[in-house]
């Protein structure tokens, strides 16, 4: 009977995948059953640019500008450009340190809320061209983008929509002004891989109100730099919701959104999507069954977890003793990258224009810890045995073309014999997210006195799930995928011992 059932089930699944759109957005219909909704959710996938971004895992922010020199976190737009005067600025130093720390992309605050521009823009006089730095010939965008290119680090740009200096702010002309600034940044400095739009807008009751034409901004980016993801006031990348560096235990990349307008640019695979998903993206639960069952549509909208290495986003001398330690950064890594997110870690240059040695030490210490921990996967030398399942290889040509999956069932059990009794306290699992996010519940067990004992459990996995638990000794280990929205596709399983 079994042999007959499996092909039938498989047939149904294959048919389902043909009729379901394999893209990063799907609409739900009133007649969809709960099962239909779950199946649709399991088929929502990242766009190519979202997937490339997710694979970066660790990215960096460079908060630098007039605030570096005034000691403020938010300027007011009235600062004199002459204040910007670093004496030893060296963007290559920033990039080299970031690269050593395993940071794969750096985002520069080309303009923060005070409106001061770090590049010699034609749109305003409130820029570096009126600063003493290099007699007005300086261009931090150029310095940093050149250094990134030279060292193989990707480059991104932060352009604050809120601008407290610009006189036309609050009128339609500001949208033209903003698009001109964006166009300069996207055309003059080579490839840009991320554009970061801040949601912060502190206009007071007497302040001007600006209607941002975000769709126009998105279309400008798509036209000039189609590879760039647009975060966090954007369609590709979602703000995780805090600035602590800690993501959610249950973190779905597939979340509810409003159905697209009829005239919206939908694109075959949403590569051209220029609509920011709608909804409150700050709840503790965004994408579990109870949430998606009441949705109009579902979209792949992954989390970016931003945090600064110091209390402030900009450099302040009096925070030199509050640089996060390597151990704290490691905990942040486990709770951001290890919770299906991309970490965006801010490292602000000093008034001299250099990364401070304390920050450098912390970054290198953090990288050393990661290298030590992840050097020895206890499961690597052993072969996984899947009970009632099999390992499928898609194509050897693909970089990530290997995963374990099941047929006809949405659960899986992996059993490992690691040769001898060994200590471990860290589990690291990845789903093959190119085909979506599916796992809803998993458990790790170890065989002790002939009985399987639970040592760790979790809900979502996604791009990566790292779980820390009390050190335990064992030889026989079992990972159970207990609930999944469709056959689970597991790309990687690692078991490590972190000696503190
Ligand atoms: C916030 C801003 O107001 C902060 O200054 C900083 O740029 C942070 C990354 O985003 O919204």
Q: Answer yes or no: do 91 and 61 share one domain.
A: yes
pLDDT at 383: 62
CATH number of the domain where residue 477 is located: 2.60.120.260
Contact 174, 164 (CB under 8 A): no
Q: What is the average pLDDT across 213-230?
A: 95
Instruction: Tell whether ligand 1 has an atom less than 6 A from the beta carbon of residue 162.
Output: no
pLDDT at 392: 52
In this predicted structure, which of 48-52, 341-345, 380-384 has the lowest mean pLDDT?
Answer: 380-384
How far away, in angstroms, is 268 Cα from ligand 1 center?
34
Which residues lie below 8 Å from residue 60, measured CB to CB, with a gap of 6+?
98, 101, 103, 105, 106, 107, 344, 345, 346, 347
Q: Is the pLDDT of residue 435 over 70?
A: yes
Q: What is the average pLDDT across 142-154?
A: 98
Q: Answer yes or no: do 369 and 390 share one domain.
A: no
Q: What is the average pLDDT across 389-404?
A: 53
Neighbours of 163 (CB within 10 A): 27
Q: Evaluate whether residue 287 is within a structural domain.
A: no
Q: Answer yes or no: do 159 and 248 share one domain.
A: yes
Q: Which residue blocks in 355-418 are alpha helix, DSSP H? A: 357-374
Looking at the structure of the chain, the number of domains it has is 2
Q: Answer yes or no: do 109 and 231 share one domain.
A: yes
pLDDT at 444: 98
Residue 203's pLDDT band (cuts 50, 70, 90): confident
Q: Answer yes or no: do 234 and 356 share one domain.
A: yes
Residue 450's pLDDT band (cuts 50, 70, 90): very high
How far away, in angstroms, is 363 Cα from ligand 1 center?
21
Q: What is the average pLDDT across 410-438?
A: 93
Beta-bridged to residue 109, according to DSSP, are: 158
pLDDT at 273: 67
Q: Answer yes or no: do 333 and 451 share one domain.
A: no
Q: Answer yes or no: do 129 and 214 share one domain.
A: yes
Q: Answer yes or no: do 427 and 398 share one domain.
A: yes
pLDDT at 6: 26
Percentage of the chain exceeding pLDDT 70: 88
Q: Whose CA is nearest to atom 6 of ligand 1?
A: 313
Question: Over the range 91-114, which residues count as b (16 or more CB within 10 Å of their CB) and which as e?
Answer: bebbbbbbbebebbbbbbbbbbbb
Instruction: Tell whether ligand 1 has an atom less than 6 A from the beta carbon of residue 313.
Output: yes
Q: Answer yes or no: do 133 and 201 share one domain.
A: yes
Q: To which residue do tokens 């970054």 refer?
A: 363
154-159 vs 194-197, strand pairing mode: parallel
Q: Evaluate whether residue 277 is within a structural domain.
A: no
Instruction: Tell whether ligand 1 has an atom less than 6 A from the beta carbon of residue 315.
Output: no
Instruction: Tell whether ligand 1 has an atom less than 6 A from the beta carbon of residue 201.
Output: no
Alpha-carbon distance 459 to 472, whole Å? 21
Q: Answer yes or no: do 333 and 461 share one domain.
A: no
In this predicted structure, which of 225-239, 401-415, 432-446, 481-495 has the lowest mean pLDDT?
Answer: 401-415
pLDDT at 271: 46
Select from 68, 198, 282 the residue to mutate for testing ligand 1; criterion: most ligand atoms less than 8 Å from CB: 198
Beta-bridged to residue 219, according to DSSP, are: none
How far away, in angstroms, is 65 Cα from ligand 1 center?
13
Instruction: Tell whether ligand 1 has an atom less than 6 A from the beta carbon of residue 314.
Output: no
Residues spanned by the domain of 466: 377-496
pLDDT at 52: 97
Q: What is the average pLDDT across 379-395?
A: 58
Mean residue pLDDT across the chain? 89
What would the pLDDT profile of 300-330 be if each residue is shown by its tens digit? 999 999 999 999 999 999 999 999 999 999 9
Instruction: Tell whether ligand 1 has an atom less than 6 A from the beta carbon of residue 293.
Output: no
Q: Which of 344, 373, 402 is the last residue of a domain?
A: 373
Alpha-carbon distance 231 to 238, whole Å? 6
Q: Evaluate whether residue 492 is within a structural domain.
A: yes
Q: Is the pLDDT of residue 492 over 70?
A: yes
Instruction: Looking at the CA of residue 74, tell me the nearest atom of ligand 1.
Output: 5
- Cα-flanking dihedrals φ and ψ of residue 83, to 5°? -65, -25
Q: Answer yes or no: do 368 and 407 share one domain.
A: no
Residue 261's pLDDT band (cuts 50, 70, 90): low
Q: Is the pLDDT of residue 204 over 80?
A: no
Alpha-carbon distance 157 to 186, whole Å? 9
Q: To which residue do tokens 């069952």 refer?
A: 293
CATH number of the domain where residue 196 is located: 3.20.20.80
Alpha-carbon distance 272 to 256, whole Å? 19
Which residues lie below 8 Å from residue 307, measured CB to CB, with a gap of 6+?
243, 244, 245, 332, 336, 343, 344, 345, 346
pLDDT at 404: 84
- Residue 164 DSSP symbol: S
Instruction: Tell whether ligand 1 has an atom less than 6 A from the beta carbon of residue 242.
Output: no
> Given 3-state DSSP classes, what are the helix, strand and coil percentages for the chain, each rounded to the nearest 5?
30, 25, 45
How far away, in angstroms, is 200 Cα from ligand 1 center?
7
List the structure tokens of 162.
């809120």
Closest CA to 21 of 260, 245, 268: 268
Which residues lie below 8 Å from residue 388, measured CB to CB, with a gap of 6+?
406, 409, 413
pLDDT at 382: 64
Instruction: Tell whether ligand 1 has an atom less than 6 A from the beta carbon of residue 72.
Output: no
How far away, in angstroms, is 81 Cα from ligand 1 center?
21
Contact 445, 477 (CB under 8 A): yes
């Amino acid at each position: 009977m079994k042999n007959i059932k499996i092909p039938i089930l498989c047939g149904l699944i294959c048919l389902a995948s043909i009729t379901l759109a394999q893209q990063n957005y799907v609409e739900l219909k009133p007649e969809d059953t709960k099962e239909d909704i779950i199946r649709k959710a399991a088929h929502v996938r990242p766009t190519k640019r979202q997937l490339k971004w997710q694979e970066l895992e660790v990215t960096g922010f460079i908060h630098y500008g007039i605030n570096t020199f005034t000691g403020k976190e938010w300027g007011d737009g009235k600062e004199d450009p002459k204040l910007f005067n670093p004496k030893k600025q060296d963007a290559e130093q920033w990039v080299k340190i970031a690269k050593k720390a395993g940071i794969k992309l750096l985002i520069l605050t080309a303009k923060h809320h005070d409106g001061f521009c770090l590049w010699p823009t034609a749109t305003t006089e409130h820029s570096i061209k009126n600063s003493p730095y290099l007699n007005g010939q300086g261009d931090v965008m150029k310095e940093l983008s050149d250094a990134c290119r030279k060292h193989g680090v990707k480059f991104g740009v932060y352009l604050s929509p809120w601008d407290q200096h610009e006189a036309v702010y609050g009128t339609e002309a500001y949208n033209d002004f903003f698009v001109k600034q964006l166009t300069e940044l996207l055309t003059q400095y080579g490839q840009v891989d991320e554009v970061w739009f801040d949601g912060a807008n502190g206009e007071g009751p007497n302040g001007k109100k600006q209607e941002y034409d975000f769709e126009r901004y998105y279309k400008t980016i798509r036209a000039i730099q189609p590879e760039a993801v647009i975060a966090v006031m954007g369609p590709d990348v979602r703000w995780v919701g805090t600035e602590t560096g800690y993501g959610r235990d249950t973190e779905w990349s597939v979340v509810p959104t409003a159905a697209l307008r009829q005239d919206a640019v939908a694109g075959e695979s949403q590569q051209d999507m220029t609509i920011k998903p709608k909804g409150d993206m700050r709840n503790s639960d965004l994408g579990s069954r109870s949430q998606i069952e009441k949705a109009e549509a579902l979209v792949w909208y992954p989390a970016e977890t931003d945090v600064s290495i110091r209390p402030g986003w900009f450099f302040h001398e009096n925070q030199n003793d509050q640089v996060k330690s390597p151990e704290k950064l490691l905990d942040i890594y486990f709770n951001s990258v290890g919770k299906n997110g991309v970490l965006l870690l801010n490292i602000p240059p000093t008034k001299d224009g250099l990364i401070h040695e304390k920050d450098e030490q912390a970054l290198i210490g953090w990288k050393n810890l990661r290298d030590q921990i992840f050097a020895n996967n206890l499961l690597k030398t052993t072969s996984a045995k899947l009970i009632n399942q099999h390992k499928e290889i898609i194509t050897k040509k693909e970089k990530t073309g290997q995963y374990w999956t099941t047929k006809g069932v949405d659960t899986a059990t992996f059993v490992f014999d690691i040769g001898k009794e060994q200590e471990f306290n860290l589990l690291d699992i990845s789903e093959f997210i190119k085909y979506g996010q599916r796992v809803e519940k998993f458990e790790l067990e170890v065989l002790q006195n002939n009985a399987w004992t639970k040592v760790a459990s979790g809900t979502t996995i996604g791009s990566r799930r790292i779980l820390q638990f009390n050190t335990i000794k064992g030889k026989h280990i079992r990972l159970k995928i207990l609930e999944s929205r469709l056959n689970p596709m597991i790309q990687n399983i690692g078991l490590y011992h972190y000696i503190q």
